[in-house]
Structure 1
């Protein structure tokens, strides 16, 4: 069998056979950030961008073929544009949904149009325009760390290799500049940013219980750390994903040796709980990497049901209450590899997504 098989029909697409299966080279190519699904019933796809700016403001922009929990719908293109002012107050969280005929996307590169909003890029350089209610973002992202995907970029949830969740990270860390429009004014901004692209053809809430996903750039190092835990149907298996780069060179990109310990849980008014202490540890023959996350500050939280009609929210809450938490935390990165031994400290961004 090709690839590495995990218990309960989870197969992580790694190795040359999987690369050949999808026509991939070891390093990502620009076409991979083009449209990867047909946007029909049963599929989902989104292009995600976020920017952390020197004036203290932030922007999160998502171009999607449909809401995440409505994958069985036909093409239902949507934009979300969220701007946080320098004082921490948030603007514009409701998704803007458009008719299907106002969606267009290329397959040979990232070029997505939804209504009057658009994004285009080539893995290294991206330009985007996004409009919301009395909000707008006109930003340029330029990559400063190598584009990356874990293996062939897919995790399969069946032996037939037909049901999958895929991930590409064109810009793990980059520079951002441009303008944000809010409160009736256009603000010139610059800072740091991130872009990734996800797609798939299965209900994530049916196979995944929750995930922790985080990223940071400290000193010369860019790091992405993820632990996905599957649901009962797949035996509560853990899927680790990890990337560490120094400047333009990837040092570690095999996540199998990554583990996570959580502690100091905090109750939330939603009825959910989240940890305030997280330790990711990677250990292999090449050495160790330890990521310590402390003093998290909750910067965003919402129910994944908010975009649904109220009657549907009520029905789903009878059996599930999917919730999203986003944090900014203090991070200590301790790298002990053969040619690199360093400790760096700085801020990290991470999320805790509970899908059921």
Structure 2
């Protein structure tokens, strides 16, 4: 059995997909590292929050009903959410995971845009280029709101449409823009309306879009992915394996000079550790392409940790067949979703999610 996975890099395909099953989900992801390497932001818009106890309870119910021969409801329920994290010096300074009513979700099947509550993104064009406007306005805590306005100006993007089967039963990864110039401002506003902090941000960013109509913990065994921006190129890697699949899919991408170079690769891992929840992950990874391009990843700064997801600020070294190795700090992620199957763990996730 092989993993059912499709890839594209397409602004045109960065639109909402039809939701045919309760398990169906999609998310739009934006991240960026500051020019000085000390700060990072990560923003996710989710039409169904894949870690939501309410969403996963509904998926379990839907799967039981299907196995019993019952028909799916005409309109699957939605559990939208917004996630925003601002990091400084390897620590999460501001972290928000807020769920919203389904009535506050708006997406488009024809235009790359999404609104969840007062949070939104949209594809825009200007005389100086094209890209995404991203706006955040959500509760941080009982007494504080956090607002942020960013521009993801595309530098390397929109390389190829999806040429693989795009029907049901596939995970679709659309790496819309592996490299963007990112500018923006984060503002904290107290209950009395006064501004308590303002942060200006400038850096290099990334944007992708993932979707599937299969329940995540019944589909994915493990998924490692990451990206790093150098002055002259961006390197992106992923290793993806589905349950029941004998082999993983591993690829390395280099975005450079308006082109996306795609390489089949193998991955090797060393020095395994566990986070406080027992999730096992490699501290060292190496992604090696068929023609010996190598990306070494040292996952030495864990900045987000849960029962099923880890995010790192990682030291990465890219060695190509010419020139000196490039070295810098990138963002890497590790997903191991099997714990989402277990209802008794839902209470832990409720501690991190606001409504």
Q: Where does 1:143-222 land on structure 2 (aligned, <5 Å)? A: 143-148=154-159, 152=163, 162-182=168-188, 184-222=196-234
Residue 94 of structure 2 corresponds to 91
Q: Describe the shift of the 1:202–1:89 C-alpha distance in structure 2 as closer, same or farther (beyond 3 A).
A: closer
Q: Look up the match of 2:341.
A: none
CA separation in 2, counterparts of 1:342 and 1:130? 40
- 1:249 equivalent in alignment to 2:259: yes
SS of 1:36 mapped into structure 2: coil
The answer on whether the counterparts of 1:150 and 1:241 sit within 8 Å (CA) in structure 2 is: no
**Following the alignment from structure 1 to structure 2, what is the Cα–Cα distance between the partners of residues 243 and 214?**
11
Say if 2:16 is the partner of 1:35.
Answer: yes
Paired residues of 1:260 and 1:280 also in contact (CA < 8 A): yes
| SS of residue paired to 2:77 | coil
1:42 Cα deviation from its structure 2 partner: 2.6
Once residues 173 and 117 of structure 2 are traced to their aligned partners in structure 1, the CA distance between those partners, rounded to angstroms, is 25
Instruction: Pick one of 326, 333, 356 that aligns with 2:318.
Output: 333
Q: Report the alpha carbon displacement of residue 215 of structure 1 after superposing the two structures with TM.
A: 0.7
Using the alignment, how far apart are the partners of 1:106 and 1:42 within structure 2?
Answer: 19
- Out of 328, 331, 346, the residue aligned to residue 328 of structure 2 is 346
CA offset digits 1:48-75 (Å, max 9, x no partner): 1112224633222111111115363612
Q: What does residue 286 of structure 2 align with?
A: 279
Q: TM-score, normalised by structure 2?
A: 0.77
Partner Cα separation in structure 1 for residue 3 and residue 210 of structure 2: 18
Task: Provide the alpha-carbon RMSD of the alignment.
Answer: 2.6
Q: In the TM superposition, what is the alpha-carbon distance from 1:291 to its structure 2 partner?
A: 0.9
d(CA) in 2 for partners of 1:102 and 1:349?
Answer: 30
Check 1:39–1:80 CA distance in 2 against 1; reply closer, same or farther (3 A cut): farther
After TM superposition, the score normalised by the length of structure 1 is 0.77
Give the corresponding residue for 1:289. Answer: 293
Give the Cα separation in 1 of the matches to 2:245 and 2:115: 40
- Alpha-carbon deviation of 1:150? 8.5
Partner SS state of residue 103, structure 2 = helix
Structure 2: stretches of 5+ with no match in the other structure: 60-75, 140-144, 190-195, 339-355
Please tell me whether the aligned partners of residues 10 and 160 of structure 2 are also in contact (alpha carbons under 8 angstroms): no
Aligned-pair distance for 1:139?
0.4
Q: How far 1:40 sits from its partner (Å)? A: 5.5
Query: Cα deviations across residues 16-71 of structure 1 (Å, max 9, x unaligned)?
Result: xxxxxxxxxxx855331111223752310111111222463322211111111536
Work out which structure has the larger RCO, using CA pairs closer than 8 Å and 6 or more positions apart in sequence: 2
Change (3 A) 1:11 1:112: closer
2:39 pairs with one of 37, 50, 57? 57
Cα deviation for residue 173 of structure 1 reads 1.3
Determine if contact 2:41/2:85 at 8 Å carries over to the other structure: yes
Is 2:144 aligned against 1:142?
Answer: no
Matched with 1:119 is 121
Secondary structure at the residue paired with 2:110?
A: coil
Q: Aligned pairs, how many?
A: 301
Q: Write the deviation string for residues 131-181 of structure 1: whole angstroms up to 9, x where unpaired.
A: 222212110001122334685377x8xxxx531110111210111111111
Q: Given the superposition, is the C-alpha separation of residues 68 and 172 from structure 1 closer, same or farther in structure 2, using an over 3 Å criterion?
A: same
